[in-house]
Structure 1
Amino acid sequence: MNINDISFKQFIGADFLLENEIAEELYHEHASQMPIIDYHCHLSPEDLANDRQFKTLTEIWLEGDHYKWRAMRANGIEEKFITGNASDEDKFYKWADTVPFTLRNPLYHWTHLELRRYFGINDILNADTARAIYTEATSKLNTKEFSSRNILRKMNVEVVCTTDDPIDSLEHHIKLKKEFEIKVLPTFRPDKAYAAENVPGYLKYIERLSELTGVHIDSFSALIEALEKRILFFHENGCRLSDHGLEQFYYEKVTPSEVNKIFLKVMGGSALAAGELHKFKYAVLIALSKLYHRQGWTQQYHIGAIRNNNERMLRVLGPDTGFDSIGDFSQARTLSQFLSHLDNSDQLAKTILYNLNPSDNETIATMIGNFNHGSVAGKVQFGSGWWFLDQKDGMERQMNTLSNMGLISHFVGMLTDSRSFMSYPRHEYFRRILCNLIGKDVVNGEIPYDIELLSGMIKNICYYNAKNYFNF
């Protein structure tokens, strides 16, 4: 076969993922120019406050990256080269050995997009190129151009919303507000405030919350009082979003006296039965949701992950080390009841729902339509493809489902949901996929070639919808 007889696009060339001229026009002339609002991520505010300078490519690229860790484990790499005490250089070479095996995994795209967009390195990463790439990228990282803050400037980031526990001091956010022109705002993530399944850990957390707020937490109402104080503190420091990680929603009818009794039981050191635990979580979440509504916040719910599946590795490495997966929890009924309860008293805040199980796409896309009304366009949102679904197929399925059953024109678009400063090309990835979906529809005669209409929708999804929705 003569390679010159085959017509194909360059790998990650200018028209990567763009299948026709309409898609190319929409991306290059409209989507690519939009700033980034990264309204949900796990970047370290401390790193930004200190304008951290990363010493090596391994440090910025492999620290905390569960996607890469899982791929390396699947490739038979020893744990010492993943989360262990091997040198940064040796860890990187093991990652480079793994990259050729990630073909058709989004990691192959992300890896090479990141090398190109951050460092201008166009080589394919493998064992043969690893040393030269490591040396060149690490050398650049040691220049001021690649400090944490300059990376955000380089990637045209306008707003970053980190993920922060209610007991966080927000000292780094306060410093950044004075020193950094890019908005770095906290997000209220109170998962530990209702994680009563781990009684010893929960008691320690409540003790810390009590010390911080000056509230003697001896009742359920006192718990909510303390959390409200932290909400007000977060609001004063720019927070406009909350976030929650749930396996599934809860809806349990429970009286004030009953939930107080449950709270006192756990505060006494006793484990809760499953039904008690669900009632307690429901009561805390409902109370918090009403407080978010009062402040005009947006609440986010990430549902459907089953975490820490490997008990042996949980003992060795701890939680959040790459042993989570998609769960198959029942969602529709309790989600409906939860949202309806809040809507019934007109205390439903703007809400974004992210599901991890793609079989729930249609459930979520139709559920949001039940609770939208004239107060704001797209009040209840079907969030972007999340975690295992933030790849080409997952994004297309989410956007197609939203288009079929809702209004994609009001979609608030992409976020990184990442701990890595190297993840911003995922916004480019998303924008190319979005433009290609629309471009194919035009070519197929399914929507008109009205560039003013189409470009407006593209720019809204990439930027303006989020800017208007969150009121930063």
Structure 2
Amino acid sequence: MKNFIHDDFLLETDHAKELYHVHAKKQPIIDYHSHLPPSELAEDKKFKNMVQLWIDGDHYKWRAMRALGISEKYITGDAPDSEKFKKWAETVPYTLRNPLYHWTHLELGRYFGVHDLLGPKTAEKIYEECNAKLDSADYSARGLIERMNVEVVCTTDDPLDSLDHHRDLAGSGWPVKVLPTFRPDGLITIEGAAFIDYLSSLSKITDIKITDFETLGLAIKKRVEYFHNNGCRLSDHGLSHAYAMDFTEAEINNILSDRLKGKTISKKETAQYKSAILGLLGGFYTEKKWTMQLHLGPIRDTNEAILSKVGVNAGVDSIGDFPQAEQLAGLLNRLNNKGHLPKTVLYNSNPNDNELFATMAGNFNGDGIKGKVQFGAAWWFLDQMDGITNQLNALSNMGLLSCSVGMLTDSRSFLSFPRHEYYRRILCNVLGNDIKAGLLPNDMEWIGKIVRDITYNNAKDFFQFPDYVEQVPLEN
């Protein structure tokens, strides 16, 4: 059976088809949040087979396979890759109505020209056909990205990272910009077992002895400067919720001192420290004109048995039910009052909170910046057809969809870029249906401009990526 994903996939009206094919389809991709390994881009990695390229590290696929009862040895275990692929192929027909079904066939079609449905009967043929192409330069790490008309990729990087791979890429002459993103989770998670060692490493790399909150700030500022000079223009935070507790400088110094001595601190003290560090970081981001991304709401690493076998990012996370409004409002307001609120993108993982996030973003706009605080695209468990549509509707009803910076992959897979196409098709279908229903005028010139803005122009203007990136190591 041939693939059902045809040229007008998801496009239900003539208006939607025109919006997509004329205005959205050919727009370059700015993937401003991903987890692609910069090392693999720097070496222009070639992949041994489709399991290494497509299944290893993809916890979306792992979850589906586990749900079907497939043994872990065929998922993250030591089974031969050919057997792992067969088990994934067996799983795909059962993923009907899960976004994996659409993504799987979009990826096979867009990258490999394979339009047969993946299943047990086609598994061997598709595996061999795709594997045969992986030796070609067109299917190296960089080649795969070039095939998707990608202009910018922002990776996710620890503040301690040397960024050597980013500098190698900047000096390589490759036209795709690969820029770092500052992800300071290690600095924020004061309650974590690794926190003391992390600050020790930060001290060594910056040559600043960290004894209190002031010296910690000096060390962090040095790394922010280092990242900025290597092209970084975004930060990112993965949190259950925001933090906006009251604190004094003396309290934070005492909390930090106790923790550095190996003492256990209370939940209140943990929240106070996180409130203080987020405030400090917000000021640094504002000074550099960076964008702050807040990924809020998931509950992570819930299955200890799987974690003990696989490690982190094992695919045992879910939507959380954390209260969001009060602390998020407090953080944004505190930063805003000090003039330290950077451009911000808020990502929500709980669909019950869509309108909360959309209205919160609207509270803190201004300063001559279009869409200064964004309700970000549907994320993680919500980046499927219903989730994307609901995010578009909430943003449209509570704010300005026309200001949106559009979609991102948030992925570790080099085959994930058709998610931009998926989003663009859904966006155009929503607008096309509104035109057909008489909810929007049949003004294709204007609505086409809005589509072009959402899919490319807004992100390009919002993030202000540098034209030139430093190509030589910088002094710490």
| TM-score normalized with structure 1 length | 0.97
Matched with 1:188 is 182
Matched with 1:357 is 350
* Residues 1:298 and 2:285 aligned together: no
* Residues 1:276 and 2:276 aligned together: no
- 2:233 partner amino acid: R
The secondary structure found in structure 2 opposite 1:420 is: coil
Matched with 1:438 is 431
1:79, CA displacement in angstroms?
A: 0.6
Q: How far apart in 2 are the matches of 1:12 and 1:274?
A: 50
Matched with 2:39 is 46
1:248-299 C-alpha deviation (Å, 9 max, x unpaired):
0111111011100000010000111111111111111110011000000000
Matched with 2:473 is none
Contact 2:74–2:84 under 8 Å retained in 1: yes
- 1:131 partner amino acid: E
Matched with 2:241 is 248
Match of 1:471 among 441, 464, 470: 464
The secondary structure found in structure 2 opposite 1:33 is: coil
1:393, CA displacement in angstroms?
A: 0.3
Contact 2:3–2:117 under 8 Å retained in 1: no
C-alpha RMSD of the superposition: 0.9
Q: How far apart in 1 are the matches of 2:378 and 2:214?
A: 36
Q: How far apart in 1 are the matches of 2:138 and 2:246?
A: 56
Contact 2:3–2:116 under 8 Å retained in 1: no
- 2:130 partner amino acid: A
* Residues 1:110 and 2:100 aligned together: no
Contact 2:3–2:115 under 8 Å retained in 1: no
- 2:133 partner amino acid: K
The secondary structure found in structure 2 opposite 1:30 is: helix
* Residues 1:166 and 2:165 aligned together: no
- 1:195 partner amino acid: T
Match of 2:191 among 189, 197, 201: 197
Matched with 1:142 is 135
1:222, CA displacement in angstroms?
A: 1.1
* Residues 1:155 and 2:155 aligned together: no
1:379-414 C-alpha deviation (Å, 9 max, x unpaired):
000000000000000000000000001000000000
1:321-361 C-alpha deviation (Å, 9 max, x unpaired):
10000000000011111100111122110000001001110
After TM superposition, list the pairs within 5 Å mapping 1:371-382 onto structure 2: 371-382=364-375
* Residues 1:236 and 2:229 aligned together: yes
Size of the alignment, in residue pairs? 463
Runs of 4+ in structure 1 over 6 Å off: none
1:66-94 C-alpha deviation (Å, 9 max, x unpaired):
10000000011111111111111111001
Matched with 1:5 is none
Q: How far apart in 2 are the matches of 1:379 and 1:105?
A: 33
The secondary structure found in structure 2 opposite 1:159 is: strand
- 2:187 partner amino acid: A
* Residues 1:385 and 2:378 aligned together: yes
The secondary structure found in structure 1 opposite 2:374 is: strand
* Residues 1:327 and 2:329 aligned together: no
Contact 2:3–2:105 under 8 Å retained in 1: no
Matched with 2:405 is 412
Q: How far apart in 1 are the matches of 2:137 and 2:313?
A: 31
Matched with 1:3 is none
The secondary structure found in structure 2 opposite 1:243 is: strand
- 2:184 partner amino acid: P
After TM superposition, list the pairs within 5 Å mapping 1:329-348 onto structure 2: 329-348=322-341
Matched with 1:285 is 278
Mean Cα displacement is larger for which, 220-229 or 168-177? Answer: 220-229
1:415-442 C-alpha deviation (Å, 9 max, x unpaired):
0000000000000000000000000000
* Residues 1:123 and 2:112 aligned together: no
Gaps of 5+ in 1: 1-8
Q: How far apart in 2 are the matches of 1:114 and 1:344?
A: 46
Mean Cα displacement is larger for which, 82-91 or 432-441? Answer: 82-91
1:455, CA displacement in angstroms?
A: 0.5
Q: How far apart in 1 are the matches of 2:449 and 2:368?
A: 22
1:10, CA displacement in angstroms?
A: 7.2
Q: How far apart in 2 are the matches of 1:197 and 1:317?
A: 23
Contact 2:64–2:95 under 8 Å retained in 1: yes
The secondary structure found in structure 2 opposite 1:300 is: strand
Matched with 2:254 is 261
Q: How far apart in 2 are the matches of 1:145 and 1:445?
A: 45
1:374, CA displacement in angstroms?
A: 3.7
Q: How far apart in 2 are the matches of 1:223 and 1:88?
A: 46
1:30, CA displacement in angstroms?
A: 1.1
1:146, CA displacement in angstroms?
A: 0.6
Between the aligned residues of both structures, percent identity stands at: 54
| TM-score normalized with structure 2 length | 0.96
- 1:183 partner amino acid: K
After TM superposition, list the pairs within 5 Å mapping 1:2-151 onto structure 2: 11-151=4-144
The secondary structure found in structure 2 opposite 1:158 is: strand
The secondary structure found in structure 2 opposite 1:417 is: coil
- 2:198 partner amino acid: Y
Q: How far apart in 2 are the matches of 1:449 and 1:264?
A: 64
Q: How far apart in 2 are the matches of 1:227 and 1:79?
A: 41
Mean Cα displacement is larger for which, 267-276 or 313-322? Answer: 313-322
Q: How far apart in 2 are the matches of 1:149 and 1:10?
A: 27
Match of 2:448 among 441, 455, 458: 455
